[in-house]
Structures are given as C-alpha cells and as structure tokens.
Amino acid sequence: MSPAWSRFAVAYRESTVALCAAVVLLLIVIASLAAPWIAPQNPYDMAQLELLDARLPPGSASAGGHATYWLGTDAQGRDMLSAILYGLRTSVTVGLSATLIAVAIGIAVGLVSGYAGGRLDALLMRVADIQLSFPAVLVALILIALLGQGTGKVIAALVAAQWAYYARTLRGVVLVERQREYIAAARVLALPLRSILLRHLLPNCMPALIVVGALQVASAIALEATLSFLGVGLPVTEPSLGLLIANGFSYMLSGKYWISFFPGLALLVTIMSINLVADQLRDMLNPRLRVD
C-alpha cells in the first residue's frame, strides 16, 4: 500500500464504530453482487417457488423438507433471504448508478459555474437553488409523474433530486481553490482550460465531493425505496427492498411481520452503515478539522 493509503487506513481505524460500519457495508456490497450465486433459490424463477410454502415463519422447513427458510417466506412461497439478497442488489445498483450520474452532472455544472463565474454562474446556481428549495421526494414524484414508471425513469428522478447538492458543493470548493497559487501557475503556463479544470482543479475538489457523495448514496437508496414502497418506483419484475416491504405490509397487520420486517432491516443496516462511513470520512477529510 502506498503511504497515503496506509495513513488513510490508520486514521480511519481510529473509530471502532466506523470500522464496523465499513466492514458491514463491504459485506452488503459483496452479498448484493454475489446474490445469484449465494442465494438459496432464485426468487423470481416461478418454477422454484412452492405455493404450499407460502407465508411460513422464519426458520420453517419447506414442505418437501429439502430446505429451511431462515427468514420465512412471502405470499408466493418465496424464500425471504433470497428475495432480500436480490432486492439488495437492485437497491444498491439503482442507488449507485443514480449517484454516479448525479455526480457527473454536478461536477460539470459546479466546475463551469465556479470557474467561469458571471452570468452563467448566476443562472446555474439560481436553478440549483430553486431545485433545492423543493423537498427531494417532491422533485422525484414530479419526475415520476412526468416520465412514468420504470428503472431508467426512477434513476432519472433520483438524479434530478440530487444533482444540485453536488453542483453547489463543488462550486463552493472551486471558488476557494481557484484563488490558489497552483491554479495561477497553471494559467501562467497557458495550459489548456480542460487540463486546468480536470487535472488541476478537480482532484483538489475530490475530498468534499466524496463526503457529499457518500451521504447522498444513502439518501438515494432511501428515496428509491420510498418510491418503490409507494408503488411508483421500480417495476415488479425488478423488486427492490422498498417493493418487498410494500408487499409484506398488508400481512403485517395480521402479525406476519417477517415479510416486511427483514427487508426493512436490510435497508436500515445498509443506510446506517453508509451514513456512519460517510460521517467518518467527513471528519477525516474536513479541512477545518485536518491537522497535517
């Protein structure tokens, strides 16, 4: 490991909670990537489902006695553990793709706005401010109402709800960084604008972007789950955790808690661990707290 990385690792390990959260997060990502190989069944292959096994409580054996449903089954006799692993995969994928697109847009707008200044900056930031003055869930609902439902459209709604955070953050950092000597030096050398922006300015803005990004991934996942729970999110063919929770909701009132509870727990642990990791990153990368 390079010295920078090992210094980073040492600083990160100072908080036990953050270390645990990072380990949990790593396990979640691995589990969601490996879902098709580690899940006991493919929960969306109808041939593998047995209706006789519907709504079994956690720990029950299947009718044929060939398997144990550790987290119970849902109304179609689907193993909840498998459904959660697949749902996690969908939630994480959608959350991450939306964040990456939003970051890309945020970088473009923030760099241009902060570096160019003037009327373009005023216009872009006014748009961002107006967008931020609306609650994220309202922005997402407007987009869903406009575009209709589907995976791509949910991602578009999440991007629309979040790009402004990145743009605002990046612009703030760019305004500070562009006053620094290394930018003046790059200008004096008459480096092309693209290389000043992308190779000199952007790398120095990364810490702030990473912190905001880490926090926003969690809220992207939560927002997607909310939309899916409301029935206006991802299609039934790609159930995310939110949809699993919604499906179990009606059974919760009759005491069959596990159909909703375990997907909810998975969502909760995911969001909490991302937030804890993000908090630790913020403490480490915040220039005001950093002692070099």
- The residue ranges that bind other proteins (CB under 8 A) are 130, 133-135, 137-138, 141-142, 144-148, 218, 222, 225-226, 229-232, 242, 245, 249, 252-253, 255, 257, 260-261, 264, 267-268, 271-272, 275
Query: Nearer to other proteins by C-beta: 62 or 113?
Result: 113
Query: Nearer to other proteins by C-beta: 73 or 228?
Result: 228
* CA gap 21, 34 in Å, rounded: 20
Q: Which of 274, 257, 276, 208 is nearest to 55 (CA)?
A: 257
Minimum distance between the CB of residue 131 and other proteins, rounded to whole angstroms? 10
Q: CB–CB of 164/125 below 8 Å?
A: no
Q: CB–CB of 81/69 below 8 Å?
A: yes
Query: Nearer to other proteins by C-beta: 103 or 222?
Result: 222
Q: CB–CB of 53/69 below 8 Å?
A: yes
Minimum distance between the CB of residue 136 and other proteins, rounded to whole angstroms? 8
Minimum distance between the CB of residue 126 and other proteins, rounded to whole angstroms? 8
- Per DSSP, the three-state class of 60 is strand
The CA-based dihedral angle spanning residues 211, 214, 220, 225, taken in that order and rounded to the nearest 10 degrees: -140
Q: Which two tokens stand for residue 195?
A: 């290389």
Query: Nearer to other proteins by C-beta: 33 or 132?
Result: 132
Minimum distance between the CB of residue 190 and other proteins, rounded to whole angstroms? 35
Query: Nearer to other proteins by C-beta: 92 or 205?
Result: 92
Minimum distance between the CB of residue 193 and other proteins, rounded to whole angstroms? 28
- Per DSSP, the three-state class of 274 is helix
